[in-house]
Amino acid sequence: MNATADEIEVKMGAVSAVDLAKEREHAGTVGDITSPDPRMVCRDVNVWYDSNHAIRQVSLDIGRNEVIAMIGPSGCGKSTFLRCLNRMNDTIPSARVTGSIKLDGEEILDRGIDVVPLRARAGMVFQKPNPFPKSVYENVAYGPRIHGLTNSRDELDELVETSLRRAGLWDEVKDRLDAPGTGLSGGQQQRLCIARTIAVSPEVILMDEPCSALDPIATAIIEQLIDELREQYTIAIVTHSMQQAARVSQRTAYFHLGDLIEVGPTEQIFSKPRHKLTEDYITGRFG
Ligand code: ADP
């Protein structure tokens, strides 16, 4: 780890012995890694790409109905950790993941589990909107069809409409459901991808810099949407924008060179970071 327990003690000043012991247990991460109502429980997660140890002993709970932001300098492992949460790293041949990640109590790193339903339960929205080369309707209907979620065309129509409504896109596309999804604006395409994710009833939505390809207006719409979606879903978002993390999340996790340095309520992380590395990052001293 970057900070020894002694260094943490010095930096944190007056914290209780119990807090300190808890923090030492978690390889030096400062702050409470636990959630009172966790949806995902990650313990001692490590990721290697060949010999590059990209994530080191990361333990973190992700709470129900919360937005947790993952921030840190480029290359610190934010996306790698996010990809662990629905086994997307399986698609990278050099990647090796160890530790434990539970979704509603079920171990998802277990080799025996089927990743197709897992990726519906923990759906991913990517940096660059990536609609299928199909119509708006088919983009949303595809997942429910392959997962057999509806029994009739009417039910499917309803699910497509509900998903597009939840993604805040229905009014803009209801008259062009047969038009290609790729013909929409960037912000609309990203909301289409969110609708596609929602359509298969996920428990968790993973977002990897979902606004970085969007203009400020489209970004504001997505941020508003994230806030609304929190009522029904758990959301983990990787962002390079500290302002965005401050606006959309309730908890923030700060990564540095593969270590989870600090986690805490977003307001505290940005106003009173406890670890020197977090402070240096949020005050713009590096990153
Ligand atoms: P961040 O999202 O914080 O920018 P990443 O998770 O992308 O960080 O990267 C963390 C480390 O893992 C970096 O050293 C990066 O080079 C390495 N890495 C990321 N993706 C891959 C990959 N597909 N193959 C090999 N190494 C990777």
Give the pLDDT score at 28: 81
Picking from 260, 219, 265, the residue whose alpha carbon sits closest to that of residue 82 is 260
pLDDT score of 84: 98
Q: What is the pLDDT of residue 285?
A: 80
CATH fold of 5-282 reads Rossmann fold (3.40.50)
Rounded to the nearest whole angstrom, what is the distance from the C-alpha of residue 80 to the centroid of ligand 1? 6
Domain boundaries, the chain: 5-282
Ligand 1 centroid vs 77 CA: distance in angstroms?
6
Residue 112, exposed/middle/buried by CB under 10 A (0-12, 13-18, 19+)? exposed
pLDDT, one tens digit for every residue, the chain (287 residues): 444 444 333 333 344 444 444 444 446 899 999 999 999 999 999 999 999 999 999 999 999 999 999 999 999 999 999 999 999 999 999 999 999 999 999 999 999 999 999 999 999 999 999 999 999 999 999 999 999 999 999 999 999 999 999 999 999 999 999 999 999 999 999 999 999 999 999 999 999 999 999 999 999 999 999 999 999 999 999 999 999 999 999 999 999 999 999 999 999 999 999 999 999 999 988 65
Strands (E), 156-217: 204-208
Nearest CA to ligand 1 atom 23: 92
Q: Which of 206, 203, 200, 257 is nearest to 88 (CA)?
A: 206
Confidence at residue 116, expressed as pLDDT on a 0 to 100 scale = 94
- Extract the runs of DSSP E, i.e. beta strands, from the chain: 38-49, 52-63, 67-71, 95-103, 106-107, 122-125, 204-208, 234-238, 251-256, 259-265
**Separation of alpha carbons 126 and 237, rounded Å:** 10
Atom of ligand 1 nearest to the CA of 83: 6
